[in-house]
Chain A
């Protein structure tokens, strides 16, 4: 069984500052993928960033980057230069390769103007 744990139900950050959202996971798969999804008030799930477990290099997408610590089974998301539009629920997710995702319980991010 796979599990994903997000220990921060809520986070807030000043606009233009940097924030890090935490995620730990557990899986018995040797090959797997990790994701961060954003869910704004519109509720649509939007892929923010993905990481293949076999890749040592941390994924980066513009202002979004991850810190992937495979041995520690940790996958945190760093948002730089936070913007008001970043306010949303953020979900960490894991799949063993068949797109059957296991999601964490989410972190609600508030941006303070």
Chain B
């Protein structure tokens, strides 16, 4: 049973380019979360998605960032016109929602974005 798969593990972009990060949740999980970790900091929530729906995007910057979780295929975090401040590790996590039972997220190994 494969865990949460993220790719690419490392991505280098020049300022102004686009970055696309992909996340395949664990089998049977229909909830995906994206978190960002700046150097020497904890993870910060960005967005929570279910299949074809954005449930909570309160942590997502209003501009240049978008996320989707289509009916088929992985979840995508897209960053347009990247700037140096976007350099960070982006973690995806998934969960299997069970009413009344919550809390455990399964994390991927992260995608490290470096903007030159």
Contacts and interface: CB of A to CB of B under 8 A. Distances in A.
Interface string A72-113: 000000000000000000010101011111111110000000
Contact of B31 (A33, A46, A99, A102): A99
Nearest to A46: B107
A42 interface: yes
Interface residues of B, number: 24
A43 B109 contact: yes
Q: Is the interface of B mostly helix, strand, loop or mixed?
A: strand
A44 B6 CA distance: 11
Contacts of B112: 43
A66 to B, nearest CB: 14
Interface stretch (B36-44, B63-71, B75-83): B36-44
Interface in A40-75: 42-47, 50, 52
Interface of A: 4, 33, 35, 37, 42-47, 50, 52, 91, 93, 95, 97-106
Given A33-B102, A103-B43, A105-B40, 6 more contacts: A99-B33, A99-B103, A99-B105, A100-B45, A103-B42, A103-B44
